[in-house]
Amino acid sequence: MAALIPVSPPYRLDRTLSCGQAFRWRWHHGTANGTFAGHRTTLTQGSDGIRVEGMHETHHLEALGRYLGADEPLGTIEEALCRDRVLRRILPHTSGIALLRQDPWECLVSFIISAFNNIPKIELTLDRMCRRFGAVISPDVWAFPDPTSLASATLRELRTCALGYRAGYVRTVGRLVADGSVDLRGLDSLPYDDARLGLLEIPGVGDKVADCVLLFAYGKGEAFPVDVWVKRALERWYFRRRMSERRIRAFARTRFGPLAGYAQQHLYYFARTHRRRRSRSIE
């Protein structure tokens, strides 16, 4: 019998798991398949909440609910976002996106891999890494590799996972975390700016990767990752001209405050899902 994680409208599991926050969930006929807390897990959203198959322990279900952002007051958050003239027109197409609360280690490595990459390639690389370096959970299911496993890998082994030049970054971050040079737990208690500076000292971590980790792993809502989709969206709908990523981040923090991360997700999701349209209705 499936367990149940209650959620309140407007929560949307499909939008939450398909807007570039995480890369190890697979959709098939309205169902998300993935791995969580050492369990092969299947998620399906119904009228009464999110049905969970493959996991029944109360503490794991509670952790999964936190990971999925199931307890976030999305109605209140979206009401606040609607005060913005652009988001007010976008939200009918994007409503229900929650921010995930991911494991900092997996999130960091995933977004180092994501730099200058596309989602199918990121998914391929992560799948190969888990198969080669992750612990076996069950037949055809592997855990995410721990820092020691990646730290001890050769560059040739890592490149078989389609990492390319990122292989060196992945091995380096594995070594830094494994030997304690980087304390991912300690970043959680730091203010946004200090935590961001700490992440930027890690090889392979740039502005966008740092903000993704701060937002999706540490829940620092003022983070505003800027990729090509978000940059184009703000240049078109707010500035009407080209702007630097630094100025876009500063604008977003001022305009959206602690909800900047939510604003970013709605802008990103709309820009990607409506990329074949002119989207003049929001201008």
Task: Tell me which amino acid residue 179 is.
Answer: D
Assigned token pair, 141 = 């299911």
C-alpha 6/C-alpha 3 separation (Å) is: 10
Q: Which residues contact 47 (CB under 8 A, 6 or more apart)?
A: none
d(CA 186, CA 197): 13
Long-range pairs for 236-245 at CB < 8 Å and ≥24 separation? 236/283, 237/86, 237/282, 237/283, 238/86, 245/207, 245/208
Asked if 220 and 101 count as a contact pair (C-beta separation under 8 A), the reply is no
User: Cβ of 249: how many Cβ atoms within 10 Å?
Assistant: 22
Q: What angle do CA 82, 88, 89 make, to 5 degrees?
A: 165
Residue found under tokens 């900047």: 260
Residue of 121, 208, 220, 231 marked active site: 208
Sign of the alpha-carbon dihedral angle for 31, 160, 39, 173: negative
Task: Please indicate whether residue 208 is annotated as part of the active site.
Answer: yes
How many Å separate Cα 77 from the centre of its chain? 18
For residues 218 and 189, give the distance between their C-alpha atoms in angstroms, rounded to a whole number: 9
Residues noted as catalytic: 208
